[in-house]
């Protein structure tokens, strides 16, 4: 029996904040949206620009989602490979995102989504020379 | 800046039970394993047979992981497209997996991993004719 991975779903409390983070700051694209008037929820599918075959599904309940924990550490994480980890971290930090685990090794960083979903960023091709301010920046919080 | 999705990570409490579920029952393949003696953890990367470019990373802490919740509803879910959803559900049920949301519509089912991670199964190509025992089976629990 063949099988294909399609998406990871995460629940979000604030859709605008989530789209700002995933689309505007990280660079994912919205590829599909379902608005369910009867169920009062939206499903928004996001994907990397050249990889629409796998996606991140955001579930947004219009009337809130009180069951969501404030800390998503137990979620594990989502991982993305990026062209320039130092430049992306600078872009994120310039826009108010805390770099919980700076890419001190030129290879790996962790940030959190607005719902505290842990996001791992990995330098494409492996470690590059570490650059400031990341090389000497301590980690903050957990991820 | 280009970006590629690499993996979703979930923490597991019982590695043997998790491998039985994901590999033996669902049919994922182990594509990479890291055993960290110093950190006392294992990372096991699983992928669909013809889709090694995206994976599910299992994090297993050798000394346990007390921080894990007993109910993973807030995790959202992982989604897999399958050839024959009725046959796969039968295989899972025959091996002790509860079919929380049977494929009554010939299209969608939900089960839980040993850590209560919600797993969505979707029929490849869309809905097929619903067959028993699924067509008349009520849902059980939540997912």
Q: Report the predicted TM-score, pTM, of the whole model to 2 decimal places.
A: 0.85
Percent of chain B with pLDDT over 70: 94
- Which residues does A138 contact at the CB level (< 8 Å), separation at least 6? A102
Indicate the Cα dihedral angle B124, B128, B132, B138, nearest 10°: 80
pLDDT at residue B67 greater than cutoff 70? no
- Least CB–CB distance from A5: residue in B59, B73, B80: B80
**A120 included as an active-site residue:** yes
Judging contacts by C-beta atoms under 8 Å, the chain A residues touching residue B84 are 1
The answer to whether B4 contacts A51, with C-beta atoms less than 8 Å apart, is yes
Q: What is the ipTM of this complex?
A: 0.85
User: Looking at the complex, does the CB of residue B129 fall below 8 Å from at least one CB of chain A?
Assistant: no
The confidence band for A77, taking pLDDT boundaries of 50, 70 and 90, is confident
Domains assigned to chain B: 1-63 (3.10.180.10), 71-137 (3.10.180.10)
The answer to whether A11 contacts B83, with C-beta atoms less than 8 Å apart, is no
In this prediction, residues B8-23 reach a mean pLDDT of: 91
Report the pLDDT value the prediction gives residue A73, as an integer from 0 to 100: 56
Tokens standing for residue B105: 């519509």
């Amino acid at each position: 029996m063949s099988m294909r991975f399609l998406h990871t779903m995460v629940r979000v409390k604030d859709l605008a904040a989530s789209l700002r983070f995933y689309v505007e700051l990280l660079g994912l694209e919205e590829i599909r949206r379902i608005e369910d008037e009867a169920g009062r929820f939206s499903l928004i599918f996001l994907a990397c620009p050249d990889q629409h075959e796998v996606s991140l599904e955001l579930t947004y309940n219009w009337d809130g989602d009180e069951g969501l924990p404030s800390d998503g550490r137990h979620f594990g994480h989502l991982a993305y490979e990026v062209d320039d980890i130092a430049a992306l971290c600078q872009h994120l930090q310039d826009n108010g995102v805390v770099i919980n685990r700076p890419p001190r090794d030129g290879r790996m960083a962790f940030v959190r989504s607005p719902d505290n979903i842990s996001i791992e960023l990995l330098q494409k091709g492996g470690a590059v020379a570490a650059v400031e301010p990341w090389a000497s920046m301590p980690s903050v919080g957990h991820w």
